[in-house]
Structure 1
């Protein structure tokens, strides 16, 4: 039977945010990450309420079915509690939270997930993302409209389609039952990690021969090194064989502090040094209705944005091509006002243009071939003609030819 060998939970406010709206819980059998939304309107309150309520499901169960039922009931109950809190405190209207939870029972785990926090599994050196983001950009990725890389910088990457909060009485929660075994390493995180640190970097950090706490610290540091524009919370669970060490439950983030309703005190920046590197603009996560009409509307809006972007790119490309063509035309026209004296078929000749070529384009042409043989010239004049003699006009070039002829007398 698998059991928790070691676990760790770490939460950091990040480089940009003024308060921590994330919460994390690492218990005996239950582990979760909640990422609050609503800014100062109550994102921290939402994640704290949900975490505390769901943590009550950290218990022993007779079977995996009972464990799954209780975990889902805990999320629904947390959703109801959030709605009741908003009803009593109108200033919290619009608050909500994501939840990604994992409940261990024997050799199996129950997954419950809503929002864009994530659950990863490292098994035999291979990392897999277990949860699916309930976001607008994930819809676009699933539809093949954008890539996962484009989703990380999409202007609507902060739009959630499903959350716990005062928006839906019965939110749709993803649940699944999976096997687990000794050697597995599970990781739950808020998008403060997955939105900054690449999948490959997460894989490398989770694969390190280090303990759960050290891995969690390194993951958070990677987000901070990447700019950490959002709060970042990480929970790491290492699965081993019994017996397992008894460790007290650990709560981090906003759930670890007393709940505080009402308007927050203004934040004063005293000697705070923010990182100079900000990979993406800071955006407040917000919820939008998970409906086909909304999805179609946003798809059309994105299509209009892409059309405008293509039009603008086309305009600037045409403008650039026009500028290049105009510059070349003016330059070519200027070269045709120049002349030089050179050699053609062994005779002294006058050329229009300049001696150079522009790739396959010749910038000169034969204008007049004289009857004067280059071989008849003095050695010095022969060298000058072979190396060409520049002239500012045809008349000047003609006078050069006359002087060459006179030098033969």
Structure 2
């Protein structure tokens, strides 16, 4: 963890093992303007290794400024580093971690998030969750299958649908937003949010002014509520750039209405045709009636206009894919072009073939064992018959 910087004095952090676990799988970065939390999974000597690899790699590749795409690239590199660690014998198979990373630069905040570690913003005394959990519970809540309160006690509340270390093509969710002086950023592992409800977190963030004491209090309250998991918190106060913002607003007011409208028309036209040109070059994979299909363009619509068309549907069944990949296909897996999509299809086919080969080999081994057992039984039966015949001759 980095020491406090004179340029960013208004932050605090704490990580704690909790009251039940025997080791801490959380890792964090406090190196302004970069702040991040990674929550490891995979058990002892695995989860903590995965989270440590992730934060070290993130720190190496993260940008110095609020650039969401570069921050997303750094998270992708962290994902690849965790996967390499397993192949190289560091940690063990199945290890992984969540990652929520933020760069706060003045009044500009960018986030990259994978898993269920969260980022919150306290704005004018009201708490807002900035990130969306990649978890089974979040999916079920959005589908209307259960309430947020029911999800807190659900037996599958710890199941996450996206994490670092499982899918080499994993992509982080990226967020960009403007914040204001006086706002407060919280980044935390789920050890906090499973123990404290949002209204309790909001109260502590609004009541305790010192960010270090606030971060420590959040962890202490989580432990007091049971501390069933490791808990990590980072609290950052936004100092902002109010004067710069006022000057920008003043310049905008001086612009004439005609120039503004003209600029708006030109920008909209340029953006539309630029977007259409971009959509013609990219592609994505999606679920088409249980099969993997390749589309040119981008998923969804923009202002009611579709920018995609079906290129072809493959023979790869969604049911044969890994669950994480299948879940991502429901939203569409974006790639650079159709050629890249076809290459990804080939990877899926190779993985499915390898799994089928392994199943066939396992079946052959079992058949061989059954045949051997049958031969032994026949041999024993023959021996018994021979013995009985001898007694009859006497």
* TMscore range, shorter length: 0.5 to 0.7
Alignment partners' CA distance in 2, 1:236 and 1:108: 16
Is 2:209 aligned against 1:174?
no
Pick closer, same or farther for the CA change 1:231–1:18 going to 2, 3 Å: same
Report if the CA contact (8 A) 1:4-1:239 is conserved.
no
- Structure 1 or 2: larger helix share? 2
Match for residue 121 of structure 1? 121
Match for residue 164 of structure 1? 164
- Note the alpha carbon deviations across 1:312-332, whole angstroms, 9 max, x for none: xxxxxxxxxxxxxxxxxxxxx
Alignment partners' CA distance in 2, 1:200 and 1:208: 12
Report if the CA contact (8 A) 1:115-1:161 is conserved.
yes
**SS of the residue aligned with 1:177?**
strand
Match for residue 192 of structure 1? 191
Task: Give the CA deviation at 1:105.
Answer: 2.8
Task: Give the CA deviation at 1:209.
Answer: 3.9
Alignment partners' CA distance in 2, 1:8 and 1:23: 15
Match for residue 226 of structure 1? 225
Pick closer, same or farther for the CA change 1:52–1:91 going to 2, 3 Å: closer
Report if the CA contact (8 A) 1:5-1:241 is conserved.
no
Is 2:295 aligned against 1:291?
no
Is 2:133 aligned against 1:133?
yes
Alignment partners' CA distance in 2, 1:150 and 1:294: 27
Match for residue 261 of structure 2? none
Match for residue 382 of structure 2? none
Alignment partners' CA distance in 1, 2:229 and 2:107: 35
Match for residue 146 of structure 1? 146
Alignment partners' CA distance in 2, 1:71 and 1:158: 26
Report if the CA contact (8 A) 1:28-1:58 is conserved.
no
Match for residue 34 of structure 1? 38
Alignment partners' CA distance in 2, 1:293 and 1:9: 33
Report if the CA contact (8 A) 2:106-2:241 is conserved.
no
- Note the alpha carbon deviations across 1:202-245, whole angstroms, 9 max, x for none: 010010142100100110001010011100000010011479xx
Match for residue 7 of structure 1? 11
Pick closer, same or farther for the CA change 1:242–1:175 going to 2, 3 Å: closer
Match for residue 49 of structure 1? 53
Q: Any unmatched runs of 5+ in structure 1?
A: 244-286, 296-409
Report if the CA contact (8 A) 1:103-1:109 is conserved.
yes
Alignment partners' CA distance in 2, 1:211 and 1:99: 25
Alignment partners' CA distance in 1, 2:58 and 2:201: 27
Q: Any unmatched runs of 5+ in structure 2?
A: 1-6, 243-321, 331-394
**SS of the residue aligned with 1:207?**
helix
- Note the alpha carbon deviations across 1:17-73, whole angstroms, 9 max, x for none: 010000111111010110000012500000001011112345534xx4xx2222111
Match for residue 102 of structure 1? 102
Task: Give the CA deviation at 1:181.
Answer: 1.7
1:3-402 paired onto structure 2 within 5 Å:
4-57=8-61, 59-61=63-65, 64=66, 67-89=67-89, 92-165=92-165, 167-241=166-240, 289=324, 291-292=326-327
Alignment partners' CA distance in 1, 2:18 and 2:80: 30
Report the TM-score, using the length of structure 2 for normalisation. Answer: 0.59
Query: Rg: which structure is higher?
Result: 1
Alignment partners' CA distance in 1, 2:190 and 2:63: 28
Alignment partners' CA distance in 1, 2:325 and 2:205: 33
Q: Which has the higher contact order (CA 8 A, sep 6+)?
A: 1
Aligned residue pairs, count:
245
Alignment partners' CA distance in 2, 1:290 and 1:170: 9
Pick closer, same or farther for the CA change 1:141–1:290 going to 2, 3 Å: farther
Report if the CA contact (8 A) 1:162-1:172 is conserved.
no
Match for residue 281 of structure 2? none
Alignment partners' CA distance in 1, 2:195 and 2:11: 23
Runs of 4+ in structure 1 off by over 2 angstroms are: 56-61, 287-295
Alignment partners' CA distance in 2, 1:241 and 1:292: 39
Pick closer, same or farther for the CA change 1:292–1:21 going to 2, 3 Å: closer
Alignment partners' CA distance in 2, 1:220 and 1:152: 18
**SS of the residue aligned with 1:128?**
strand
